[in-house]
């Protein structure tokens, strides 16, 4: 951002803040040298595809969905789409949402069974209904009507992992007795192997238009019907065409509780860089995580959450509670980079 642009942006931000409302930022419209995309670490190919598609003139939201579809189709990625780890009954339930900057519209599906590309179904919800979120059987019937083919999403690999989990189920199920939120909750959480994957992808076209998408099989071995942050607009995914994109992966419950995606975008609207906006979200998770079962011996969150952002000027950033890597693609091609993180080591 040039100094002049930055000054006018900050002045607008300050005026908005003084008025007690979010500012409408005024990023100067300048053409980017190339489209850009950011994603979770499993999205290296996805960001490359998204950037390629935007270079061909695709709208960012469509490019984002094209990118994540490759990960949804991959039976080896057990956090998304085909081969995603199932719920505690062995049924794969997928969540996804998309958001389109230029129109300000969004679409989402949650607890969708038997359809491997929920992000594509979310696009149809956005384009063919007046709604934002369809769930469960309704989402499945909607997908069927639009020609999506049903299939068993449980692969041999994910079925074996589920059976293995079930054999040890008494120690690791997802029910929480009320007293586990108290003093002795930590002992219980030590045995709770929190496993989430997910892909978020935020995309910016050369003209500054933005779009974003998040898709997941959610928390492994979850209680049937559990919905995480990924299909919730403003939580696992958000964008504002005057600002940029924000999204998250990791423990969805933590992201929901701080409205992570919209928080990141709001931080950028107030003048933070994409990386600093994501760091603010990570700090907010750390500050608001209070119950003992969710904390490690040092009082830090005992789980990982990662945040991703792009701004309208093509700047990319990402930050997490714990160390790790994310994927990005710009004029220099697809690559991984280290998260800015609150704590130096990877999550235990």
Catalytic residue among 196, 198, 216, 249: 198
| Strand, helix or coil for residue 183 | coil
CA–CA separation, 196 and 307 (whole Å): 14
Complex with ligand GLY: residue 245 or 249, whichever CB lies closer: 249
Nearer to ligand GLY, 197 or 211 (CB): 197
Min dist CB 319 to ligand GLY, Å, is 16
Least gap, CB of 127 to ligand GLY (angstroms): 24
CA distance linking residue 120 with residue 211, whole number of Å:
14
Total length of the chain = 348
The nearer residue to ligand GLY, 25 or 236, going by C-beta atoms, is: 236
Considering the complex, state which of residue 143 and residue 248 has its C-beta at the smaller distance from ligand GLY: 248
Closer to ligand GLY by CB, 140 or 254: give it.
254
Residues pairing with 310 in the sheet:
245, 316
Size of the site for ligand GLY (CB under 6 A): 13
Query: Is residue 230 close enough to count as binding ligand GLY by CB under 6 A?
Result: yes
Q: Nearest distance from residue 63's CB to ligand GLY, in Å?
A: 22
* x/- map, 232-251, ligand GLY, by CB under 6 A: ----x------------xxx
Whether residue 334 contacts residue 50, with contact meaning beta carbons closer than 8 Å, is answered with no
Closest Cα to residue 210, out of 104, 53, 334, 56? 104
Catalytic annotation present for 129: no
Q: 321: closest CA among 239, 260, 266?
A: 260
* CA–CA gap between residue 213 and residue 59 (Å, rounded): 12
Residues 6 or more apart in contact with residue 327 via CB below 8 angstroms: 38, 39, 40, 41, 42, 43, 44, 46, 47, 334, 335, 336, 337
Choices 9-17, 116-124, 185-193, 224-232 (CB under 6 A): range interacting with ligand GLY:
224-232
Min dist CB 84 to ligand GLY, Å, is: 10
Q: What are the φ/ψ torsions at residue 139 (nearest 5 degrees)?
A: -65, -40
Contacts of 184 (CB under 8 A, 6+ apart): 292
Q: Which of 228, 216, 300, 292 is nearest to 257 (CA)?
A: 228
CB 148 within 8 Å of CB 117: yes
State the binding string over 276-295 for ligand GLY (x if CB under 6 A, else -): --------------------
Contact 96, 214 (CB under 8 A): yes
Decide whether 107 or 252 has the Cβ nearer to ligand GLY: 252
Q: Which x/- pattern over 187-216 shows residues binding ligand GLY (rule: CB under 6 A)?
A: ---------x-x-----------------x
Stretch 250-269 residues interacting with ligand GLY (CB under 6 A): 250-252
How far apart, in whole angstroms, are the C-alpha atoms of residue 25 and residue 29? 12
Q: Which of 204, 218, 200 is nearest to 97 (CA)?
A: 200
51 versus 112: smaller Cβ distance to ligand GLY: 112
Q: Establish how many alpha carbons lie within 13 A of residue 282's alpha carbon, considering only the half-sphere containing its beta carbon.
A: 28
Question: What's the closest the beta carbon of residue 112 comes to ligand GLY, in angstroms?
Answer: 13
CB of 288 to ligand GLY, least distance (A): 16
Stretch that binds ligand GLY, among 19-27, 226-234, 295-303, 322-330 (CB under 6 A): 226-234
Q: Which one of the spans 166-174, 225-233, 281-289, 335-343 is the region binding ligand GLY (CB under 6 A)? A: 225-233
Minimum CB–partner distance for residue 273 and ligand GLY (Å): 24
CA distances from 108 to 119, 125, 177, 206, 326 (A): 8, 7, 31, 26, 24
Binding site for ligand GLY (CB under 6 A): 196, 198, 216, 218-219, 228-230, 236, 249-252
Q: Give the active site residues.
A: 198
């Amino acid at each position: 951002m040039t100094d002049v642009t930055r000054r006018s942006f900050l002045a607008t931000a300050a005026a908005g803040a003084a008025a007690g409302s979010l500012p409408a930022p005024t990023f100067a419209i300048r053409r980017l040298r190339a489209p850009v995309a950011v994603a979770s670490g499993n999205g290296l190919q996805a960001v490359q595809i998204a950037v390629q598609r935007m270079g061909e003139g695709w709208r960012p939201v469509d490019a984002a969905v094209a990118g994540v579809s490759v990960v949804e189709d991959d039976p080896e990625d057990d956090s998304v789409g085909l081969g995603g780890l199932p719920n505690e009954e062995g049924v794969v339930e997928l969540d996804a949402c998309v958001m389109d900057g230029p129109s300000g519209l969004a679409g989402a599906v949650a607890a969708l069974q038997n359809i491997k590309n929920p992000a594509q179904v979310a696009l149809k919800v956005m384009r063919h209904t007046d709604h934002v979120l369809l769930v469960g059987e309704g989402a499945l019937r909607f997908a069927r009507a639009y020609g999506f083919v049903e299939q068993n999403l449980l692969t041999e690999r994910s079925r074996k992992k589920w059976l293995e989990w079930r054999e040890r189920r008494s120690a690791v199920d997802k029910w929480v007795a009320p007293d586990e939120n108290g003093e002795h909750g930590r002992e219980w959480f030590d045995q709770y192997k929190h496993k989430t994957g997910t892909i978020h992808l935020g995309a910016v076209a050369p003209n500054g238009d933005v779009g974003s998408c998040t898709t997941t099989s959610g928390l492994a071995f979850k209680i049937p019907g559990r919905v995480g942050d990924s299909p919730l607009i403003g939580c696992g995914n958000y964008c504002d065409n005057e600002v940029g994109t924000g999204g998250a992966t990791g423990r969805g419950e933590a992201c929901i509780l701080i409205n992570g995606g919209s928080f990141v975008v709001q931080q950028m609207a107030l003048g933070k860089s994409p990386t600093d906006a994501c760091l603010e979200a990570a700090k907010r998770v750390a500050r608001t995580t209070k119950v003992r079962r969710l904390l490690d011996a040092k009082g830090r969150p005992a789980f990982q959450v990662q945040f991703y952002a792009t701004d309208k000027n093509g700047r990319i950033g990402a930050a997490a509670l714990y160390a790790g890597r994310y994927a990005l693609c710009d004029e220099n091609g697809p690559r991984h980079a280290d998260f800015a993180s609150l704590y130096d080591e990877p999550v235990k």
